[in-house]
Homo-oligomer: A and B are copies of this chain.
């Protein structure tokens, strides 16, 4: 049995839905189908989810909602029309939307949650109706009905462990099961959404629950690339990579697959395949537990910008027991999460995402560090980029660091920071944001330019 997930761009119009239908029907093993909301049809198009949020906000403000309501319904209706899907499903979608709009609005957050989830929920109904119109046994399955129960955390709900046994029962259902992604239900019956790329999470949870042989994630790229194609033109594709490699890559700007979505599949040892709806014949990228095929120590390079560093210098710091712990306590008090804390003998530096700090917080944090830790010197450096070089092969390969450092040096890039030594499958370089693209290109040339990637 396979769980198959389709992203928004795979469901943006009728032509796309036909592709989805053909893909699902091509293999009888493709039994559980997870769908996103309809994505953008062209670059300026508005996502259904964004329209729904707008609709929800107007409801809360008790403003006129006719326009938004009609725009949303028309997105589904135009697809239905294109594919000759019976009108009844559009009536159903209208009624569903109207009934959400009439819901209790005391808790505005929960109301918006329900609104947002309607994009995926109605699309699952539409897709099921389409399959049925083709004479195929297909059923819309609501997440509550599927057994997806989650914590009470709006926008970052976590699946409850008891869900998995309930989901396992889906195996006994007949026909193709079309499940909306992105959300689950609390024990109290409220709709709660997952974090971004939430449909990937739904697919992964279902794959775990039904003990699928494979979780296929259909998107609009042929594969996971060794590097961001917006930085390096026509980069090599990755055929196979491990969960750990994927997670390390996801961390720094690899948006193909959200790292959190991997966990349920990983826990159940279910391989994940990233494939292209628009080119299903392409081999795609398989994410597995262990891989044998290595053509080099590095499998991929990711990068992200928007980091800053707080440097703290104090004489004889390394003789002070508890210094690091007290520093981290101050960060915690400000709800700041950090990426890395390199430390010297008399100094320690905290690398963190800059968007967490406004001018006020910045000042408050520095003041507390100076006062409580009696630091001699505290200074902030801005506009840092972090580059992750990832590969299981690194732990066995002498000289990978040397190759990476040499490539950066030859490109004239100063390395502000290196973080190597905890993860066995990655190393992190900190460089100035202005050097980020040049650095990624240099590393790509070093590790991939003449290599077939496995």
Contacts and interface: CB of A to CB of B under 8 A. Distances in A.
Contacts of A405: 399, 401-402, 404-406
A340 B337 contact: no
Interface stretch (A18-26, A64-72, A410-418): A410-418
Interface stretch (A179-187, A224-232, A288-296, A316-324): A316-324
A347 interface: yes
A349 B422 contact: yes
Given A341-B343, A349-B421, A315 B401 contact: no
Given A321-B332, A325-B332, A405-B405, A415 B423 contact: no
A251 B318 contact: yes
Nearest to A412: B398
Contacts of A315: 263, 266
B322 A325 contact: no
A397 to B, nearest CB: 8
A263 B316 CA distance: 9
A417 B412 contact: no
Given A321-B332, A398-B414, A421 B430 contact: yes
Contacts of A402: 402, 405-406, 408-410
A345 interface: yes
B421 A342 contact: yes
Interface in A382-431: 398-399, 401-406, 408-410, 412-423, 426-427, 430
Nearest to A430: B421
A366 interface: no
Contacts of A434: none
A329 interface: yes
Q: Is the interface of A mostly helix, strand, loop or mixed?
A: mixed
A324 B348 CA distance: 14
A401 B420 CA distance: 13
A233 interface: no
A354 interface: no
A251 B427 CA distance: 25
A423 B342 CA distance: 9
Interface in A281-321: 309, 311, 315-316, 318-319, 321
A399 B405 CA distance: 7
Contacts of A324: 328, 338, 341
Contacts of A427: 418
A245 to B, nearest CB: 11
Contacts of A251: 318, 345
B341 A420 contact: no
Contact of A342 (B260, B414, B420): B420
B406 A416 contact: no
Contact of A325 (B329, B408, B419): B329
Contacts of A417: 420-421
A266 B348 CA distance: 20
Contacts of A329: 325
Contacts of A414: 398
A344 interface: yes
A114 to B, nearest CB: 25
Given A325-B331, A328-B328, A347-B423, 15 more contacts: A248-B345, A259-B345, A324-B341, A325-B328, A340-B343, A340-B421, A341-B343, A342-B422, A346-B423, A347-B422, A348-B422, A401-B405, A404-B405, A405-B405, A418-B427
13 contacts: A259-B345, A260-B316, A324-B328, A324-B338, A324-B341, A341-B343, A342-B419, A343-B419, A343-B422, A347-B422, A405-B405, A419-B421, A421-B430
Interface of A: 244, 247-248, 251, 259-260, 263, 266, 309, 311, 315-316, 318-319, 321-322, 324-325, 328-329, 331-332, 335, 337-349, 351, 398-399, 401-406, 408-410, 412-423, 426-427, 430
